[in-house]
């Protein structure tokens, strides 16, 4: 797999103090994609065709809905719905045909001339689940995040200034740690992968412990005997811990 290098956004994210710079990048991407899908890009015929085909996941439909461009979203949803109806009619016909054949012709079933009803129904179920899981925004975010993860590894490997910045960062959230491991496995030699892990794992462990400590300070603050103790950086330890665990930037 070949990825393009895109260093400026990665450097920008590393200049902000956070539990995971890739979370910041993903958060910005999501915001930009939601805006662009309700703006000019949705008028491009390529994008329109892709939206009609896949639609969006529940999370991204909700973000689009909350963005308050109801006409834009209604137009987009309408053409997607029309395409879905066509596909649904074709897919459901296959399962209804199989049901009918099952009840009418035992002989055909014995000779295997009919598609087995339960097989057809299970394919139909799978088709619905796949259809429901498709999302153009998720796809685009995932492609660009692969590129950002690759760029992070590339900078770590080739730019000593970045390596220093990286080594004073807090590692990644679990989600983006897995992503960088995936990209490292795809693009680096085993020797480099091992060097990468030797840098990243101690950071992860150090900042897990950091959050552990800050979260206890935060919890103690609810104890009236300790309520006057200053919280300092532990003030936002809950959203940062949630981000570290889930990859969801809680702004």
By CB under 5 A, name the one of 13, 34, 51, 173 that touches Zn ion.
173
> What does the DSSP assignment read for 198-246?
HHHHHHHHHHHHHHHHHHHHHHHTTSGGGTTS--GGGGGHHHHHHHHHH
Question: CB neighbours of 2 closer than 8 A, spacing ≥ 6?
Answer: none
Q: Which is nearer to Zn ion, 95 or 137 (CB)?
A: 137
User: Whole-angstrom Cα distance, residue 241 to residue 122?
Assistant: 40
Tell me, by CB under 5 A, how many residues bind Zn ion: 11
Integer angstrom CA distances of residue 115 from 110, 122, 124, 233:
11, 12, 13, 63
Cβ-based nearer residue to Zn ion, 30 or 214: 30
Q: Which 111-140 residues touch Zn ion, going by CB under 5 A?
A: 135, 137-138
**Should residue 57 be labelled a site residue for Zn ion when binding is judged by CB under 5 A?**
yes
Minimum CB–partner distance for residue 73 and Zn ion (Å): 14
Instruction: Give whichever of 57 and 84 is closer to Zn ion, judged by the CB atom.
Output: 57
Gap between the Cα atoms of 84 and 244, Å rounded:
37
- Per CB under 5 A, 63 contacts Zn ion: no
Site string for Zn ion, 24-53 (x = CB under 5 A): ------------------------------
Q: Does 20 bind Zn ion (CB under 5 A)?
A: yes
203 Cβ neighbours under 8 A, 6+ residues apart: 167, 169, 170, 171
Binding site for Zn ion (CB under 5 A): 20, 22-23, 57, 60, 135, 137-138, 173, 176, 247
């Amino acid at each position: 797999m070949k990825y393009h290098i895109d260093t400026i956004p990665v450097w920008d994210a590393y200049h902000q103090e956070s539990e995971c710079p890739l979370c910041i990048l993903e958060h910005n991407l999501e915001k930009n994609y939601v805006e662009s899908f309700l703006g000019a890009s949705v008028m491009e015929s390529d994008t329109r065709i892709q939206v009609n085909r896949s639609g969006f996941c529940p999370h991204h439909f909700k973000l689009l809905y909350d963005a308050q461009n109801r006409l834009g979203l209604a137009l987009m949803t309408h053409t997607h719905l029309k395409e879905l109806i066509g596909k649904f009619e074709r897919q459901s016909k296959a399962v209804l045909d199989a049901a009918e054949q099952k009840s009418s012709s035992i002989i055909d079933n014995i000779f295997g001339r009919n598609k087995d009803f339960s097989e057809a129904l299970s394919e139909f179920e799978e088709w619905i689940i796949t259809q429901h899981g498709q999302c153009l925004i998720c796809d685009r975010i995932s492609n660009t995040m692969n590129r950002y993860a690759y760029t992070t590894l590339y900078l770590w490997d080739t730019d000593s200034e970045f390596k220093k910045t990286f080594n004073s960062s807090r590692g990644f959230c679990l989600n983006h740690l897995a992503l960088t491991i995936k990209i490292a496995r795809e693009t680096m030699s085993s020797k480099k992968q091992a060097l990468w892990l030797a840098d990243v794992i101690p950071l992860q462990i150090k900042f897990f412990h950091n959050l552990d400590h800050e979260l206890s300070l935060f919890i103690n603050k609810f104890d009236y005997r300790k309520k006057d103790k200053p919280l300092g950086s532990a003030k936002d330890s809950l959203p940062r811990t949630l981000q570290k665990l889930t990859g969801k930037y809680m702004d």
